[in-house]
Structure 1
Amino acid sequence: MKLDDAYANVPYIPGGTEYPARWSAQAEAFRDALVAEGRAELGLSYGPTVRQAFDLFHPEGAAKGLCVFVHGGYWIKFDRSLWSHLAAGACERGWAVAMPSYDLCPDVRIAEITTQIAQAVSAAAARVDGPIALVGHSAGGHLVARMAMPGILPADVAARLQHVMPISPVSDLRPLLETAMNADFRLDMAAAEAESPALMPAPSVPVTIWVGGDERPVFLDQARWLAEAWDVAHHVAEHRHHFDIIEALGDPESAMLDQLLG
């Protein structure tokens, strides 16, 4: 369809097809290490289906707060098992990190995934005291942006939000109507508008939009649209593309984590 190529990342990233296997290996090694140290709780249920579960990684000592990472994959692929290593940076800074999976389209609609992530954040928040920072990548960037909206999270959980960081988010879902992926999303214009953070009022919680300078033009647009709609900080990381932009989460000294966690 008209916008299929515009929203395709893999063909435009050197070695793009190799990233999932690399992520999986790094994530498994990280999980194994934290399990051995007694600092990982895996497969914690937050809902009735198998995919409604999260992993929780603990820092050494008492946690300063909770960081929740929501993965991407256009709401149609991947799960929490590929991203565990990205918890390393926040854990080293003394934060607990929750990583949820969620049901995927076409089994559910995007609006249902939004509800599931709200349930996952709430379940993780019940296990970790202190402030909450939300970060999500691509489709996960859309989902954490939705968490910033009034009425999505329970009031007591929303009150704990310290920062929300959509990384390379899909903020306006209307263009996806012109992609073949919409056969799985099953969006019409009303549903797309109802799930588009860029069409919603700015939240009261601090938000920073992060995107790679070498990303596809539509992702630069999507990040800018949200930053402009909400009048929030907008960081373009030079020489980073859609797949390596998230690597900074694994580095406790990164500017990304400085902004997210303070």
Structure 2
Amino acid sequence: MRRNFLRRLLSLTPLALLGACSGADILNGLTPKEGYRVETAIAYGDDERHRLDLYTPDTGDPAALVVFFYGGSWENGERGDYLFVGEAFASRGVAVAVPDYRLYPDVRYPAFLEDSAAAVAWAHRHHQGPVFLVGHSAGAYNAIMLALDGRWLGAEQLRACDTLAGAVGLAGPYDFLPLQSVSLKDIFGPEETREDTQPINHVNDSAPPLLLLSGDEDGIVSPRNSRVLAERQEAAGGRAQARFYPGLGHLRLVGALSRPLRGSAPVLDDIVAFVQRESAGRHRGC
């Protein structure tokens, strides 16, 4: 992942002139190292992939904690690529936990959801304030499934409506059947059970509020996913909002959280405003 995450982003930004380096390395290299503390490789479970990095702002006890799930098609990813995300939220006074989770081909659905729920359970135990989920791409799927489908947090003796103040999906796949790729077919199991793997089929009126963000030039995960899920969740009596950013593609959307690219779209501003709003007005309990 370190050699391919955000590589395509370079051709779409001024960072293209830096050429052959990894996009994540470039963004992290340009990310300030002050203003926050980082604790690395904190165990939230027994597997070697059950580790997270915790970013805490220097400004005092953070009011909210974000658990950020990265993307990578459930096949790639490592928490160390996301220093730029940790700094982004810490710079606004929000703590961030970035967990690794088990990946294909070592595991298949629903293991990455079980791991994500275990990371949220750790966050719930260690933070007294509101907890939010934020994810990009496959990580957005993880975040939104935990918010909508009670099985995963339920296995940790938690309920989303009690545990989560909100969930944010960036360029998430929420309604992506029929599957085309061989690996996705293997990841999500037999065709007759795949409907149950789709967030769109778990909308309900007790879920925490959702903010679904997409770039209108995303050629990897169609913005339709965000629009339709928001519509279905509201129709089910829940709270959801979809927002679309002109000129942003799949990787530029998460890249806009970084200090070098933050001016390209108000992605960070919109998420932090959601966190602040839902933290202040949150009704605890199901």
Q: TM-score range by the shorter chain?
A: 0.7 to 0.9
Instruction: Single out whichever of 191-200 and 106-115 deviates more from structure 2.
Output: 191-200
- d(CA) in 1 for partners of 2:94 and 2:6? 32
Shift of residue 212, structure 1, vs aligned partner: 0.3
- 2:165 counterpart residue number: 162
- 1:152 counterpart residue number: 152
Shift of residue 222, structure 1, vs aligned partner: 1.9
Gaps of 5+ in 1: 1-8
- 1:194 counterpart residue number: 196
Matched, 1:59 2:57: yes
- 2:22 counterpart residue number: 21
The one-letter code sitting in structure 2 at the alignment partner of 1:115 is: E
Q: TM-score, normalised by structure 1?
A: 0.84
Please point out which of 30, 48, 51 is paired with 1:50: 48
- 1:118 counterpart residue number: 117
Quick check: 2:188–2:194 contact (8 Å CA) kept in 1? no
Q: Give 1:58-77 correspondences, 5 Å limit.
A: 58-60=56-58, 61-77=60-76
| SS of aligned partner of 1:135 | strand
Q: Give 1:1-262 correspondences, 5 Å limit.
A: 15=11, 21-27=22-28, 30=31, 33=33, 39-60=37-58, 61-149=60-148, 150-153=150-153, 154-155=157-158, 158-176=161-179, 178-182=180-184, 184-185=186-187, 187-202=189-204, 203-216=206-219, 218-231=221-234, 232-250=240-258, 254-262=269-277
Higher relative contact order (CA 8 A, sep 6+): 1
Instruction: Single out whichever of 10-19 and 235-244 deviates more from structure 2.
Output: 10-19
Gaps of 5+ in 2: 235-239, 278-286
Q: TM-score, normalised by structure 2?
A: 0.77
The one-letter code sitting in structure 1 at the alignment partner of 2:71 is: G
- 1:5 counterpart residue number: none
- d(CA) in 1 for partners of 2:21 and 2:119? 24
The one-letter code sitting in structure 1 at the alignment partner of 2:274 is: Q
| SS of aligned partner of 2:182 | coil
Shift of residue 191, structure 1, vs aligned partner: 3.8
Structure 1 residues 190 and 115, CA gap change in structure 2 (3 angstroms):
farther
The one-letter code sitting in structure 1 at the alignment partner of 2:146 is: M
- d(CA) in 1 for partners of 2:110 and 2:248? 30
